[in-house]
Amino acid sequence: MIIVHHLEDSRSQRILWLLEELGLDYEIKRYLRDKETRLAPKALKDVHPLGKSPVIEDNGIVVAETGAIVEYLVGEHGGGDIVAPMTAEEKRQYTYWLHFAEGSLMPQLLLKLFFTQVKEAKMPFFAKPIAKGIADRVLGSYVDPNIETQFAFINDHLARNAWFAGDAISGADIMMSFPLEAGADRAGAGKLKAIKGYLEKIHARPAYARALERGGPYVYA
């Protein structure tokens, strides 16, 4: 039995969705975020030294990092509606988008979240204009332009392709789902036609609905 160490409002929701698409049995061990810090509880360190989610256990094998988990599950338990890329081009696209999700897109979205929170944070009145000025400068000169460029790139790809790595859903779509959802919420990516249609398509999948039912509604933390 596969065990998913599932932190509320987190990227581990993708793993539940993948497991549902693969048609695998699994057990969920739930963890709540600290109400003040929004960080994972220390109990997760008993599972993996970094104390992060997602983490899975599969017959004594512990796997962390979402991309690594996706590759492991598809490689060890492939099936269901998740297909392995077939052509050389599909394999290249699969590898690219699998790593793009966390390597390129999520860092920009996290920077946007961080500097937006800096602007809204409580601080002495004399520090507020300085902090806001720094945050606005970083967002305006670096973060927002990068996000806009990346989402235009993604939108163009989805306008020409049914899925990220070909004509069928794959692990690359599982990986890209969270940053697109987060981007639609934080950066207005959901206004782009192809991305909007893609999100509607994945949200309509029965396996996605089952994963939400098991994992619970989540915000894009």
Cα-trace Rg, the chain: 18
Write down the pTM of the prediction: 0.90
Task: Write down the pLDDT at residue 220.
Answer: 56
Task: Write down the pLDDT at residue 219.
Answer: 67
Residue 105 near residue 148 (C-beta atoms within 8 A): no
**Which range marks the domain in which residue 178 is found?**
88-205
Q: Do 54 and 93 reside in the same domain of the chain? A: no
For residue 160, tell me if it sits in a domain: yes
- C-alpha 10/C-alpha 33 separation (Å) is 10
Task: Write down the pLDDT at residue 188.
Answer: 78
Residue 59: give its domain's CATH number: 3.40.30.10
Q: Which amino acid appears at position 55 of this protein?
A: V
DSSP one-letter code for 57:
E
For residue 220, tell me if it sits in a domain: no
Residue 161: give its domain's CATH number: 1.20.1050.10
Q: What domain count does the chain have?
A: 2
For residue 221, tell me if it sits in a domain: no
Please report, in tens digits, the pLDDT of each residue of the chain (221 residues total): 999 998 877 788 899 999 999 999 999 998 888 777 777 778 888 888 888 889 999 999 999 999 999 999 999 988 777 877 789 999 999 999 999 999 999 999 999 988 888 888 787 877 788 788 888 899 999 999 999 999 999 999 999 999 999 899 999 999 999 999 988 877 777 789 999 999 999 999 999 999 999 988 766 54
Q: Do 121 and 14 reside in the same domain of the chain? A: no
For residue 135, tell me if it sits in a domain: yes
Q: Do 148 and 186 reside in the same domain of the chain? A: yes
Q: Do 36 and 114 reside in the same domain of the chain? A: no
